Structure 1
Amino acid sequence: MDAAAGPPAGVLLASFCVFQLLFHVLSPRLSAAVSPGFSGLSSEKKIEWNSRVASTCHSLVVGILGLYIFFFDEATIADPLWGNSSLVKVNVAIASGYLISDLLALLLYWKVIGDKYFVVHHCTALYAFSVILITGSLQYIGNFRLLAELSSPFVNQRWFLETLQYPKFSRANVVNGVLMTAAFFLVRIAAMPPMYGFMYSVVGTEAYARLGPLAQATWAASCLVLDVMNVMWMVKISRGCLKVLSLLRDQKASGCLQNGKLD
């Protein structure tokens, strides 16, 4: 229980409050000042806009901190199952506070931004994070899973561009679409083989046995649930990206033919 006491509990509460403040107060004011198109949006679009601003801020914070931990945190690198890191606990607590805040927003504005897959995603991640904070185990794994958030800013940016009615073939849309597909694949799909390979390699070891049935089942089940959704989203994103690139190629080919006729 010591792993959950102290700073992580305070960080979790602070994270929840900050993201509630960001969603309800800061995003509407800053967005209106930064983006002229925000003021002309419907109330429903503004709700989703504010939700995605909070999502982007959360992703950048936990993703960047997660990268630092992944490369430089000696305790969890040396012992991925039982390494104890205050930075990991802080990162997991920040993510947990955001997830609770976003779940509340989903429930309050269900008709606008409600999504059953997001509820499953958030609840699964929250349960897994609670096991990490309470038992103190699997901190490296929890932080590794948080690296998946590095794809979210591109996903949200795609929605912002569409909402502001940027042309589908504009440079901003095309570049962001390619980066979104690449980032999503790298941090969510390509990360699967090493994750499950490591899981298989430690089964039967003393460190794995120390986890106990609850942590073992949580590790396997939460990864499976989240990765099934990641694969579903990857398929959808890939189809959209390929469709845009194909249409863009056809458009360029058509333009070349027209130019040839003019010559």
Structure 2
Amino acid sequence: MMDGNMGYSIIADHATSSNQIRWLVSVFGGIVMCKIAYELTGVISPLIFKGFLKLENKQKLEWKNRGFSTFHALFAAIGSMYFLVFTDLFDEDSKEELIINRSSAASDTLLGMSIGYFFSDLAMIIWTYPTLGGLEYIMHHGLSLFAIIQSLVSGQVQFYILIVLFTEITTPFVNLRWYLDVAGKKNSTLYLLNGVAMFIGWLVARVILFVFLFYHLFTHSDQVKLVFYPLGYYTLLTIPPMLAMMNLFWFWKIAKGMIKTLTKLRKQS
């Protein structure tokens, strides 16, 4: 394992002035993206759902918050899939450079914008606590910010960060479920189909994909040991399991809800 001086030299090499400017711009861009999506949600929603204007202020706040949450989820998931699947950035045989050390200006920008989102959402959660979520959301966002910032500054383990960011693909289903519930569509076919899609999506993206992540960490342990010491190394060994435990807890709740709904429908038929 590399010593502390070597680890900090990696960070220093990656943190050039041009990189730092790009990071700041991308983080700010992520915050602006959230603000625009938040305001647009408030403008478009009354055109789609007439009852929006009759909602309580807390519901309107959460409605618009989930608007920019959905936008970021799609942005992060599509961007992550692009780097993981459709480019050779992390292809085992495309470069001699270790996978843990691979990054690009574009992937840095994606991480920076996601940092802007998590900052924005975490600020709203804390400011309006507990309207937009409890301690589990603060923990999730805090851990995510900590890991993404480390990866961005060091230029390491972006492969694993992008895998975790791709799991945001489940967020639109979670938000749509909330929208339909507030709109009084809990007994609709769309609500049922969305619940099934959310269950399958969560199983694939937040359970099975995490199994692959841990498998990749195990089979590339020789590279993992070279992550800048000691903070990055132990972060990589602790944060993914903590996120996985939260994902399993939420998956259990989703599964219980789906079983309850399907059982109710079967009794009615």
Q: Same-fold call, TM > 0.5?
A: yes
CA contact (8 A) 1:76 1:85 kept: no
Instruction: Structure 2: state its 5+ residue gaps.
Output: 1-11, 93-97
Distance in 2 separating the partners of 1:185 and 1:127: 25
Distance in 2 separating the partners of 1:114 and 1:236: 16
CA contact (8 A) 1:63 1:149 kept: yes
Distance in 2 separating the partners of 1:34 and 1:173: 17
SS of the aligned residue for 1:228 comes to helix
1:96 is matched with 115
Pair 192,167 (structure 1): closer, same or farther in 2 beyond 3 Å = closer
Q: 2:226 aligns with which of 209, 215, 234?
A: 209
Distance in 2 separating the partners of 1:233 and 1:164: 23
Pair 182,206 (structure 1): closer, same or farther in 2 beyond 3 Å = closer
1:18 is matched with 33
Compute the displacement of 1:90 (Å): 1.6
SS of the aligned residue for 2:137 comes to helix
Q: 2:173 aligns with which of 141, 144, 154?
A: 154
Aligned-partner residue type, residue 224 of structure 1: P
1:164 is matched with 183
Pair 211,28 (structure 1): closer, same or farther in 2 beyond 3 Å = same
Distance in 2 separating the partners of 1:147 and 1:111: 27
Q: 1:36 aligns with which of 45, 50, 59?
A: 50
Number of aligned residue pairs = 249
Q: Which has the larger radius of gyration?
A: 1
SS of the aligned residue for 2:225 comes to helix
CA contact (8 A) 2:70 2:171 kept: yes
Q: 1:68 aligns with which of 79, 82, 94?
A: 82
2:23 is matched with 8
Aligned-partner residue type, residue 151 of structure 2: I
CA contact (8 A) 1:88 1:140 kept: no
User: CA offsets per residue over residues 45-66 of structure 1, 9 Å max, x none?
Assistant: 1011011111101101111111
2:255 is matched with 238
What are the residue-to-residue correspondences of 1:181-192 with 2, within 5 Å? 181-192=199-210
User: CA offsets per residue over residues 138-160 of structure 1, 9 Å max, x none?
Assistant: 01111111111000000000000
Aligned-partner residue type, residue 226 of structure 1: L
Identity %: 24
Q: 1:138 aligns with which of 154, 157, 173?
A: 157
Distance in 1 separating the partners of 2:86 and 2:22: 21
Distance in 2 separating the partners of 1:103 and 1:155: 18
Aligned-partner residue type, residue 103 of structure 1: L
Compute the displacement of 1:207 (Å): 6.1
Distance in 2 separating the partners of 1:117 and 1:149: 16
CA RMSD of aligned residues (A): 1.6
Distance in 2 separating the partners of 1:208 and 1:77: 20
Q: 2:124 aligns with which of 78, 83, 105?
A: 105
Q: Are 2:236 and 1:222 equivalent residues in the alignment?
A: no
Pair 100,210 (structure 1): closer, same or farther in 2 beyond 3 Å = closer
CA contact (8 A) 1:85 1:139 kept: no
CA contact (8 A) 2:227 2:233 kept: no
Compute the displacement of 1:95 (Å): 1.1
User: CA offsets per residue over residues 93-146 of structure 1, 9 Å max, x none?
Assistant: 111100000011112211422411010000000000011011100011111111
Distance in 1 separating the partners of 2:197 and 2:89: 32
